[in-house]
């Protein structure tokens, strides 16, 4: 029996979760998992090499390759066959966001921005109330094993 794959770390959740071809009444489509979209973002948008992508997602390089291959195959299938793309589910862990206040240098963490959550521009510094802040990319603190994070469907089993 194959072992359960650990959750891939996902930093960005898209604002749009469904893409439908023009003039389509089709309700079914291809399900693209959130960790697959994150793999595409890191490799094709941020343009990291596969080793850096795997490190960012905290998974092995071979697991990253499988996720990326699956994502590209699903998107190609949807585009060629005129299917909708639904972005949902998967094996993932959402990371907390870390901000630093420009005015008072206070650093703090915010829970992941999911649908209905607060985006960065809506968050004020808890120390001084300033809206001037920057997001710290390398200041993310997250791991399976104690820190607060949100799991997707079919998680790695660390919290089951």
- 73-101 tens-digit pLDDT: 999 999 999 999 999 888 888 777 788 89
What's the pLDDT score for residue 83?
Answer: 92
DSSP 121: G
Q: With H, G, I as helix, E, B as strand and everything else as coil, classify residue 97.
A: strand
In tens, the pLDDT along 119-157 reads 566 788 999 999 998 877 654 333 333 333 344 444 444
Q: From 95, 94, 49, 86, select the one nearest 68 (Cα to Cα).
A: 49
State pTM to two decimals. 0.66
Mean pLDDT across 51-68: 95
What's the pLDDT score for residue 157?
Answer: 43
Mean pLDDT across 58-86: 95
What's the pLDDT score for residue 9?
Answer: 84
CB atoms under 10 Å from CB of 58, counted, come to: 16
């Amino acid at each position: 029996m194959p072992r359960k794959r650990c959750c891939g770390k996902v930093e960005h959740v898209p604002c749009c979760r469904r893409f439908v071809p023009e003039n389509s009444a089709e309700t079914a489509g291809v399900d693209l998992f959130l960790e697959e979209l994150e793999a595409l973002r890191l490799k094709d948008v941020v343009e990291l090499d596969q080793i850096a992508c795997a490190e960012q997602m905290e998974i092995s390089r071979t697991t990253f390759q499988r996720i990326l291959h699956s994502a590209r195959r699903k998107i190609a299938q949807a585009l060629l066959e005129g299917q909708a793309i639904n972005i949902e589910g998967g094996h993932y862990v959402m990371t907390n966001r870390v901000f630093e206040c420009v005015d008072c240098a206070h650093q703090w963490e915010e829970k992941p921005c999911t649908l209905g959550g607060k985006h960065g521009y809506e968050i004020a510094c808890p120390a001084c109330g300033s809206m001037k802040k920057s997001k710290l990319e390398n200041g993310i603190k997250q791991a399976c094993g104690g820190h607060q994070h949100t799991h997707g469907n079919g998680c790695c089993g660390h919290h089951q």
